[in-house]
Structure 1
Amino acid sequence: MAQPRNHQRHNRVASVASGGGGAVDHHAYPTQTLFEYIKEKQLPFLSNIVIIGRLRDTWDKQPELGDYYQKFINSLPITIEKPFDNHQHNTPEDNNVQPATGLLLIFPTLFIHYLEVTNSAMKSIFEDLNQSINNHNGLIREASILNISYNIQTRLYPNWSFKSIKLAVEDLDAQPAETTEAIAIEILGKLLRLAKYQAEERQRNERPGDVLANLDQQRADLLPNQVNINYLLKQPIFRTAEDILKNYNRPINVRFESDLTAPPTHRLFPITF
């Protein structure tokens, strides 16, 4: 009786491995995940994340979401990163890195979260976000990752804070005239201008206090449009926290079917110069 194809391949590999000559056991191919690699190397990367989402309930959940993230961000451990290629990169001289800085804007039904995070903090934030969405008692109904910028050069925010915005909108489901790309770029641009505005206010005033206290009345032009946030949430092109976590848990060393044959095939990649 003919043997199954997979069984024949296994016998061919086993016979070569047992015949000496330094044959490699392809079944022992490493399956280290991306997060395990980052954690092992302690790569000192600082990333920027922009999250847009919808609250599970309206109005009364605004301060609750802000207080929750205030405690969560403060609970993240301060990491100590190793130098990268013998040079400090995105880290102070003492290597101590704040786990997360940024700004959370909470509208009546929506929110947008601008974060500058370290490697370990990024995974913790995505895990917590995914858990809140999957939990019917969580504060967040849905969320999308609007943008991720890896290995940024500097932070825009010295700390993390949040602001509840009371601006109402007449028709949240209105169809914007711009394209999805143009809307996303406009929102990201406003977040950058908002960070610049806060930095300028802190430098201008000796005792700046809460520079966001009257932001929705004095500088509403700096705030992202709620209609645009709602529109982007409906677009399937943006990834979710669950999608990002799958990348962390996916092996970085992929084993092809051809790796199980003997003699092993030669790959055309990675290409080295």
Structure 2
Amino acid sequence: MAHTRKGSKKGHPLDSLTPQVPRSNYLHLQEEKQRLQMKKFLLDRIFLVASIQENVDKEAISDYYEQAFQTILKYHVGEGVTGLLLIYPTSLLHILESSNGTLLRILLDYVNHVKNDEEFLIQNVKIVTVSHDIPTRIFQHWHISIVKVPVIYLDDVTQSLSLNEVLTDFLTLTHKLGIYLFKTVKVGAKGPGDNLHLVAPDLLLPEQIIKYLCRAEELVDPETFLNMYSKPIHVTFDSEVVWPAPSHF
């Protein structure tokens, strides 16, 4: 008997085992290249506040950080620093994005300067928060902005706020400012300049909040942070535990 084979839409059984070649385009290639470049190290972000010595040239502060970055990057090649340095009349706000090792060296450099020079131009540095393994950078470069025009406040609102409330305002405004700069500052541009008080007055953090955080005892200074980071964690192994627990009569 002749067997009539019916047509079937199913392919050969081995077709399902054949590896499929993924289709890509130039955009996907560039995104993958950027992803690999950015994942050479885990990216951290740190928020710092500090007081400024009286009669200190504001440009000397930016020069100090630029020289420190150049020295540190010799040991951490490819781990560039991005962020924002806002220099107020008597205080500063510093946001830094880089690898964990680079940020630790920046803190250590400051600690060494303070130990060797009691009248170092930057004083009372406090670490507000540290974010580990962030997905991406907010700042494309390291920007400097000198707030030349002081803002006069009739009442110091921080006097009636708790530390948690001040921290909430601090993180909210700095995040909004970072997003604003990310959208407005073009790649390759020098940065926002010294007119943030004109282009984004509602996003500029009041100096009284920075001075409040510099006085907050709950926030740690770089030396304390580095000591905590370097301190070994005591781990109790199962072999060290005796059961039942010894009792004394």
Query: Which TM-score applies when normalising by structure 1?
Result: 0.65
The match for 2:121 is 139
Distance 1:55 1:161 in 2: 19
Aligned pairs for 1:1-273 within 5 A: 44-58=41-55, 60-77=56-73, 97-134=78-115, 135-170=117-152, 174=156, 176=158, 177-202=160-185, 210-252=191-233, 254=234, 264-265=240-241
Question: 227-236 vs 207-216, which deviates more?
Answer: 207-216
Between the two proteins, the alignment pairs up a number of residues equal to: 202
Q: Distance between the aligned counterparts of 2:203 and 2:74, measured in 1?
A: 31
Q: C-alpha distance in 2, partners of 1:79/1:215? A: 34
Q: Which amino acid in structure 1 is aligned with residue 165 of structure 2? A: A
Please report how far the alpha carbon of residue 113 of structure 1 lies from its aligned counterpart in structure 2 after TM superposition: 0.3
Amino acid at match of 2:172: G
**113-122 or 66-75: bigger deviation:** 66-75
Contact 1:105 1:165 (8 Å CA) reproduced: yes
In the aligned structure 1, how far is the partner of 2:242 from the partner of 2:129? 37
Deviation at 1:251, TM superposition (A): 1.6
TM-aligned CA deviation for residue 73 of structure 1:
1.7
Look up the SS of the partner of 1:246 in the other structure. helix
**Unaligned regions of 5+ residues in structure 1, if any?**
1-42, 81-95, 268-273
**Cα drift, residue 114 of structure 1:** 0.4
- How many Å separate the matches in 2 of 1:210 and 1:118? 22
Q: 1:55·1:109 contact (CA, 8 Å) conserved in 2?
A: yes
Q: Distance in 2 between matches of 1:129 and 1:197?
A: 29
Indicate conservation of the 8 Å contact 1:78/1:98, yes or no. no
Shift of 1:104: 0.6
Partner Cα distance (2:153, 2:113) in 1:
27
Residue 49 of structure 2 aligns to a residue in which SS?
strand
Task: Give the structure with higher Rg (CA).
Answer: 2
Q: Secondary structure at the match of 2:127?
A: strand
Q: 1:71 to 1:183 in 2, by over 3 A?
A: same
Q: Summarize deviations over 1:209-246 as a string: whole Å, max 9, x none.
A: 54334212222221111111111211111111011110
**Match of 1:16?**
none
Q: Distance in 2 between matches of 1:129 and 1:173?
A: 33
Alignment check: 8 A CA contact 2:126 2:220 kept? yes
Q: Secondary structure at the match of 1:102?
A: strand
Q: What secondary structure does 1:243 align onto?
A: helix
Q: CA deviation at 1:51?
A: 0.3
Is the contact made by 1:116 and 1:155 (CA closer than 8 Å) also made in structure 2?
A: yes
| Equivalent in the alignment of 2:30 | none
Shift of 1:74: 2.8
Change in 2 beyond 3 A, CA 1:120/1:214: same
| Higher RCO structure (Cα 8 Å, ≥6 apart) | 1
The whole-number CA distance in structure 1 between the counterparts of 2:130 and 2:84 is 15
Q: Give aligned-pair identity as a percent.
A: 24
The residue type equivalent to 2:98 in the other structure is V
Q: Provide the rounded CA distance (Å) in 2 between the counterparts of 1:228 and 1:170.
A: 13
Query: Cα–Cα, structure 1 residues 197 and 56, in superposed 2: closer, same or farther, change >3 Å?
Result: same
Gap regions ≥5 residues in structure 2 = 1-39, 244-249
Deviation digits for residues 25-83 of structure 1, max 9, x if unmatched? xxxxxxxxxxxxxxxxxx9322110000001224x431110121122123322677xxx
Task: Please say if residues 42 and 100 of structure 2, whose CA atoms lie closer than 8 Å, have aligned partners that are also in contact.
Answer: yes
Equivalent-residue separation in structure 1 for 2:41 and 2:127 (angstroms): 22
